[in-house]
């Protein structure tokens, strides 16, 4: 089996409130900032409230979804006084924790999100990044709660649009179900435990521990389905079917019910076998996504350890 020696990881950022109405990250970041523990073992940990203006009004965003603003194109655009608030904020965050793709970028950025979908805890990442995947494997094996899953969005880094793309090893911690604007203690506790486990892992890695390789399972996003809509008004004409609702990551087969129209008719799935996720996520109505689909993949992790001086 392959082995990689990788540089020590010294700068960690925990971010919340990238979407101002996803409350777990907001309260986790506020609590951590209160304690002012900046140095944990060999790593420094910084917290940031990514979209403070949206948090103030408890909305996803002010002008534009911040978590779609970190493409190379948007980060290199010239700012003007009339640029959307979130574009300006993305430039600030990129200057603080990036620049994206540069040697100056922070080592780890963990961005905390909530979903109204029944997804449990998910690691979402763009690339087959060995550090992210080893952290995921560690949390999956140690967490007192379950399930913990990995989701890969197969997007090239220049087009990667979310905050974590600015870090060398960035990932989203997506946890649900939790309504927007609501904080649930059970989900807060899960995230706090995961963040402790991340710092544990980092300390062990930086101290020279070898992490053995192995197979991990991940869900690789393939496509997304919109709700049936009225061609004139664009209003949705159906809800997610009760048999699909809350059944994220359960295999969907051709012929399975996926929507129930408001007049009572059932719409059946016509695609290939796939795993649905983000089923009935609140914020995706405007993005025209009823749920996303993935295929299951197996990833062979190499063993890793820190580069000796």
Which residues define the annotated binding site for Zn(2+)? 19, 22, 113
Active site residue 174: yes
Contacts with a second copy in 166-225 (CB under 8 A)?
177, 179-186, 188-189
Distance (Å, whole) CA 53 – CA 149: 31
Interacting span for a second copy (CB under 8 A) from 66-74, 96-104, 133-141, 256-264: 256-264
DSSP state of 211: B
Nearest to 176 by CA among 22, 283, 16, 48: 22
Answer yes or no whether residue 118 interacts with a second copy by CB under 8 A: no
Answer yes or no whether residue 240 interacts with a second copy by CB under 8 A: yes
Residue of 143, 220, 224, 239 that binds a second copy (CB under 8 A): 239
Distance (Å, whole) CA 125 – CA 102: 18
Distance (Å, whole) CA 33 – CA 43: 16
Which CB atom, from 128 or from 145, has the smaller least distance to a second copy?
145
Residue of 74, 119, 241, 301 that binds a second copy (CB under 8 A): 241
Distance (Å, whole) CA 4 – CA 199: 21
Distance (Å, whole) CA 284 – CA 291: 8
Total residues contacting a second copy by CB under 8 A comes to 29
Q: Residue 152's beta-bridge partner residues? A: 125, 220
Distance (Å, whole) CA 70 – CA 87: 9
Which CB atom, from 52 or from 208, has the smaller least distance to a second copy?
52
Q: Which of 174, 193, 215, 265 is catalytic?
A: 174
- Give the catalytic positions in this structure: 174
Residues that bind a second copy (CB under 8 A): 27, 30-31, 116, 177, 179-186, 188-189, 235-236, 239-242, 245, 260, 262-263, 280, 282-283, 285
């Amino acid at each position: 089996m392959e082995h990689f020696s990788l540089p020590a990881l010294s700068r960690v950022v925990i971010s919340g409130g990238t979407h101002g109405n996803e409350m777990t990250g907001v309260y986790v970041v506020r609590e951590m900032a209160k304690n002012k523990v900046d140095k944990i073992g060999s790593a420094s940990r910084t917290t940031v409230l990514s979209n403070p203006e949206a948090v103030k009004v408890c909305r996803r965003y002010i002008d534009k979804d911040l978590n779609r603003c970190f493409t190379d194109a948007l980060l290199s655009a010239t700012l003007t006084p009339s640029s959307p608030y979130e574009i300006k904020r993305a430039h600030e965050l990129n200057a603080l924790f990036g620049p994206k793709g540069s040697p100056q970028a922070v080592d780890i950025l963990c961005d905390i999100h909530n979903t109204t979908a029944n997804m449990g805890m998910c690691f979402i990442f763009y690339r087959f990044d060995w550090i992210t995947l080893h952290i995921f494997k560690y949390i999956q094996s140690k967490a007192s709660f379950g399930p913990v899953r990995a989701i890969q969005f197969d997007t090239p880094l220049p087009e990667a649009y979310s905050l974590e793309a600015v870090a060398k090893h960035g990932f989203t911690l997506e946890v649900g179900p939790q309504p927007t604007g609501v904080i649930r203690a059970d989900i807060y506790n899960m995230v706090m435990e995961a963040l402790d486990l991340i710092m544990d892992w980092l300390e062990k890695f930086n101290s020279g521990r070898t992490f053995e390789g192995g197979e991990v399972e991940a869900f690789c996003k393939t496509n997304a389905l919109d709700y049936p809509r009225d061609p004139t008004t664009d209003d949705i004409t159906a809800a997610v079917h009760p048999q699909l609702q809350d059944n994220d990551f359960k295999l969907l087969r051709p012929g399975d019910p996926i929507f129930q129209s408001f007049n009572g008719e059932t719409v059946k799935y016509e695609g290939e076998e796939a795993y649905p996720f983000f089923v009935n996520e609140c914020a995706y109505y405007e993005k025209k996504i009823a749920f996303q689909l993935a295929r299951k993949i197996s990833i062979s992790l190499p063993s890793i350890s820190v580069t000796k001086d």
